Chain A
Amino acid sequence: MQRRKFLTTGVALAVLAGTGSAFAATLDQVAEKVLGTWLQLALELVRHTPTYTPPVASRTLAYLGVAAFEALASGDTTLRSLAGQLHGLKTVPDRAPGQGYDAAVILNAVMDPLIHDLFSNTGPTGQHAIETLTRRLASQAAADVAADVVAASRSYGYTLAKAVLEWSRTDGGASIDNLGFPVSYTSNPAPGHWVPTSKIVLQQAPLLPLWGKNRAFAMPSGDSCTLPPPTAYSEDKGSDFYVQAMEVYTTSQNLTDEQRSVARFWSDDAMLSYTPPGHWIAILGQVVAEKGLDLTAHVEALARMGVAMADAFIGCWAAKYQYDLIRPITYIKKVIDPKWEPMLNTPPFPEYPSGHSTQSAAAASVLTSLYGADYGFTDQSPAPDGVPQRTFTSFQAAADEAAISRLYGGIHFRPAIENGQAQGRCIAAYAIALKTRV
């Protein structure tokens, strides 16, 4: 009953002031729980929905983050909408003047249709879970809230969700066919280019070759943060390319237990984990809890993180298909050791730059801008197969480890890692520059 009283007062204040102050009074644990529960489901659906490779996951997490932010920004005069700042998002719906709203109900009404739509292709268990939470959270969000506030909040939330979904339809990434693999694809036959590395029929073509052409969120376009070309291809033993391949090979032959743990911890495989962007969203959730951040700070960070990581994948993918570089497994088997097997499964797309390096650097840059360069933490994200949790002195240290893990795992050469990180930091600057406060 305490919440009902709170809201009654809040509605009155809103009518009187016509500001976000009434809204601020409703930022309670229920709203945080509603948001957190939907985000948790989203991460599980990323793990369990077949099209959710890392680029696709980053896109969805960006839309969820922006939508959650706009849900609050529309009722808080201290917040500045991202409309007009993000490409293609010209406006977002306004709230009705004088009407009382409830944050939990709005957030639920926003997240519910977004999750339904963005994960519409998930399997029967995912659908079952979505429907279960739809019923459960709608009831919890509306508990003890005045009927007129519930109705207005739901209406507004649905309207906002519709606007965000309409915005999402035109970015180039809305439709994923054949799990993201072209039905036909002609590889570049010249030496040094990507060739299939998998024994799965689907993966005889590379993943999402056009993803780099998607509309970016904050950076101008997929080629806004260019990176130098990869090392010139050569099979000569004295060449730089051979040397960089030998580094991967010799490292893999002499992996320490620590390096194995690092590679496994950050493997973040599609269909087996939250994927790299989901991993970083989980880290954000941990930081929010550790620092006791309020709901506004949470959704601000969600939006920036989502935008940065989604742009990182667009930029990274643009470069991957610009350079179309061979994977270590192909080169090493051909030139160095035909029996070599890397520790990690080689992802089915070109090598340069490293996606995890690019997007982890972007995510860490955003987190550093928000919470400082020396925020130490023990990563509580679900670790694969019993790999111990890892502790970091900073977000950057975590991102550095995520990046080098790909060399330990035998799936990237060093230039893809180092130049990928630089690209990620460049891309993140656009998300960091977004104005979220008036």
Chain B
Amino acid sequence: MRLILLAVLAGPAFADDVVIPKFIDETETSGITSAYKGDWEFMTGGGVAAFDCNGDGKPDLFMAGGTDKSTLYRNDSATGGGLKFTAVPSGAELDRVTGAYPLDIDADGILDLVILRSGEDVIMQGEGQCKFHRANEAWGFDGRDLWSTSFSATWEKGQDWPTLAIGTYIDRTQDAFPWGTCTENALYRPKGKGFDTPLALNPSYCSLSMLFSDWNRSGTPSLRVSNDREYYKGGTEQMWHVEAGKPPALYTAAEGWKPLKIWGMGIASADVNGDGYPDYFMTSMADSKLQVLAGGADKAAFKDVAFADHGIAQRPYAGGDLRPSTGWHAEFQDVNNDGRQDLFVAKGNVSAMPDFAAMDPNNLMLGQADGTFMEAGDKAGVASFRQSRGASVVDLNGDGQMDIVVVNRNVGAQVWRNSGAGIGGESLGHWLQLALHEDGSNRDAIGSWIELRQGEKLQRREITSGGGHAGGQLGWWHFGLGADIAAEVRVVWPDGMAGDWAKVDAEGFDDLTRGKVPVKR
């Protein structure tokens, strides 16, 4: 895709002032009409998967519908234009869908979909042109019949097929005393060109988000699991060693892991503080957390800096409702292209819980030069008061500006186009986007780290599959450059080998194939 940014921008001002981007609500004209519906079994979930299923370079959207059938929306947006989508038959229309994640499981260059359900999970093999067919049987995938709520994927060392982790929630049959009935999370390891019998990740504590992430840059990602304390007994947040050829094993107190009990609902990760390691934001009810590595790479200990850094999202900041917040999907992206991580949190009451905010606006917290965050959701125009669940912060119209799509419970999803300018007419920063490719089974290089250098400044981004709340994206990886019109980039590939630094110009989409120089698309 050749992208041309035609907007004539005034010279970007990149002092320490944070530019609040102006978002335009284009829900009504977008063609997106999905709502995430259902009662008790659909109080959680409601994810959206953003990925390119027809090869046009722009992300299409697959939305969970709960008791309604899921919908795949083809992205018909013109580059830099309004957001336009068309619901298309895909073969992936299923009911009882809670979420979905894209992944090229069979390394054919076409993204597949792992669909989570309150019921049997289904893997849909991508055929191209946004068509899918069921692959459970062909790939030996046991979808079980549980209430699935979280997902992550990795490629273990020496394997040519991915390992999937799927987290589940409450035993739906225990309707009088459901507490303490968390069903088993499972690890699906490869067996030939398919999956082995799922391996139980016991104990399981009602996971609403999980993420394979290399927290200490050891070269082997671990599985972070965020759990809903509402339903477990004796549970805690978890992190699993998942090492090739070994059974999964929980991190222990001796390794530095400390019990943390939250209403864990979503995980976002990014190197926020620039220490070279991923930091983690976990959504919850009234007590969301932002964890940074506390004791170095040798100790799995994290410190909560949410309060100190104002990355807090614990109470509504607009609308006048002072009751505590309920957070769901969280995602770090750079929405104003200033080279700093911003944090979007989709929020909304579980149902009608009177002790939590009914008017609970989504958060858009902008990274500031001192490392703290500044709330700007209302000023930016994305402070929806609907009961939000899943979301994606993604460039939907190929203009380099990160747009936002949110799935809401029982009412329609919403989509906002990033105008590419600040609310006062300021220019946003420069940007570039990269897609990673390598030969072999892990074609999208899940587990890589992209490093982007601007003089002394280094941005690092871990390429992961999973996390958020019930949905994720795979495709272009976006970086804001601030005032710079180019940057140097390299990739530390999943096997730990670092590629060469290469200069990449701003305002473009580059394919970065292992062993080759970046190529503009």
Contact = CB atoms under 8 A, between A and B. Distances in A.
Interface in B185-232: 229-231
Given A50-B353, A120-B354, A176-B355, 13 more contacts: A40-B177, A44-B179, A48-B230, A121-B355, A124-B43, A124-B351, A125-B40, A128-B40, A179-B355, A183-B322, A200-B286, A202-B324, A384-B234
Interface in B348-367: 350-356
Contact of B176 (A133, A200, A272): A133
B356 A50 contact: yes
A271 B236 CA distance: 13
Given A178-B322, A272-B229, A132 B286 contact: no
Interface string A198-212: 011110000000000
Looking at chain B's contact residues, the main secondary structure is loop
A132 B176 contact: yes
A201 B178 contact: no
A44 to B, nearest CB: 5
B306 A199 contact: yes
Contacts of B231: 125
B61 to A, nearest CB: 27
A435 interface: no
A386 interface: yes
Interface of A: 40-41, 44, 47-48, 50-51, 120-121, 123-125, 128-129, 132-133, 136, 176, 178-179, 183, 199-202, 271-272, 382, 384-386
B18 interface: no
B266 to A, nearest CB: 18
Contacts of A44: 177, 179
A362 B233 CA distance: 27
A256 B490 CA distance: 51
A123 B230 contact: yes
B357 to A, nearest CB: 10
B353 A47 contact: no
12 contacts: A47-B179, A48-B179, A50-B285, A124-B352, A125-B179, A133-B176, A178-B322, A178-B355, A200-B286, A201-B286, A202-B287, A382-B233
B490 to A, nearest CB: 37
Given A41-B176, A128-B40, A271 B229 contact: yes
A121 B176 contact: no
A133 B245 CA distance: 47
A179 B176 contact: no
Nearest to A49: B355
Among B285, B306, B308, B355, residue most surrounded by chain A Cβ atoms (within 10 Å): B355
Given A47-B179, A50-B285, A123 B315 contact: no
A323 B39 CA distance: 47
B40 A202 contact: no
A101 to B, nearest CB: 26
Contacts of B322: 178, 183
B312 A201 contact: yes
Contacts of B304: 199
A201 B179 contact: no
Nearest to A44: B179
Contact of A200 (B287, B353, B355): B287
Contacts of A125: 40, 43, 170, 178-179, 230-231
Interface of B: 39-40, 43, 170, 175-179, 229-231, 233-234, 236, 259, 261, 285-287, 304, 306-308, 312, 314-315, 322-324, 350-356
Contact of A179 (B39, B175, B179, B324): B324
Nearest to A124: B351
A177 to B, nearest CB: 8
Contacts of B170: 125
Contact of B307 (A133, A200, A382): A200
A271 B355 CA distance: 14
Nearest to A131: B175
A124 B40 contact: yes
Nearest to A40: B177
A125 B175 CA distance: 8
A123 B355 CA distance: 9
A92 B352 CA distance: 34
A123 B40 CA distance: 10
Contacts of B350: 123-124
A125 B41 CA distance: 9
A380 to B, nearest CB: 14
B206 to A, nearest CB: 11
Contacts of B39: 124
B517 to A, nearest CB: 47
A202 B314 contact: yes
Nearest to B230: A48
B234 A179 contact: no
A289 B304 CA distance: 45
A51 B230 contact: no
A271 B287 CA distance: 13
Contacts of A124: 39-40, 43, 350-353
Nearest to B40: A128
A386 B234 contact: yes
Contact of B355 (A50, A128, A129, A136): A50
A41 B233 CA distance: 15
Nearest to B352: A124
A128 B175 CA distance: 7
A183 B320 CA distance: 12
Of B39, B231, B234, B351, which is in contact with the most chain A CB atoms at under 10 Å from its CB? B234
Contacts of A41: 176-177
Given A199-B304, A202-B315, A129 B323 contact: no
Given A123-B353, A178-B322, A136 B307 contact: no
Contacts of B285: 50
Contact of B234 (A40, A183, A385): A385
A179 B286 contact: yes
A136 B178 CA distance: 15
B493 to A, nearest CB: 38
Contacts of B307: 199-201
Contact of A385 (B178, B259, B286, B315): B259
A77 B324 CA distance: 50
A139 B140 CA distance: 45
Nearest to B289: A199
Nearest to B233: A382
Nearest to A129: B176
Nearest to B306: A199
Contacts of B43: 124-125
A47 B230 CA distance: 8
Contacts of B230: 48, 123, 125
Contact of A202 (B178, B233, B286): B286
A51 B355 contact: yes
A132 B324 CA distance: 28
Nearest to B353: A123
Contacts of B176: 41, 129, 132-133, 136
Which 9 A-B residue pairs are closest in the complex by CB-CB distance?
A199-B307, A124-B351, A201-B314, A132-B176, A50-B355, A132-B175, A385-B234, A121-B354, A200-B287
A129 B172 CA distance: 12
Contacts of B353: 50, 121, 123-124
Contacts of B259: 385
A183 B307 CA distance: 17
Contacts of B286: 50, 179, 200-202
A124 B350 CA distance: 8
Residue of A133, A178, A200 most packed against chain B (CB within 10 A): A200
Contact of A123 (B175, B323, B351): B351
Nearest to A181: B324
Nearest to A199: B307
A386 B356 CA distance: 31
B40 A129 contact: no
Nearest to B258: A341
Contacts of A199: 304, 306-308
Most B CB within 10 A of own CB, among A121, A124, A176, A183: A124
Nearest to A133: B176
A236 B309 CA distance: 34
A337 B312 CA distance: 28
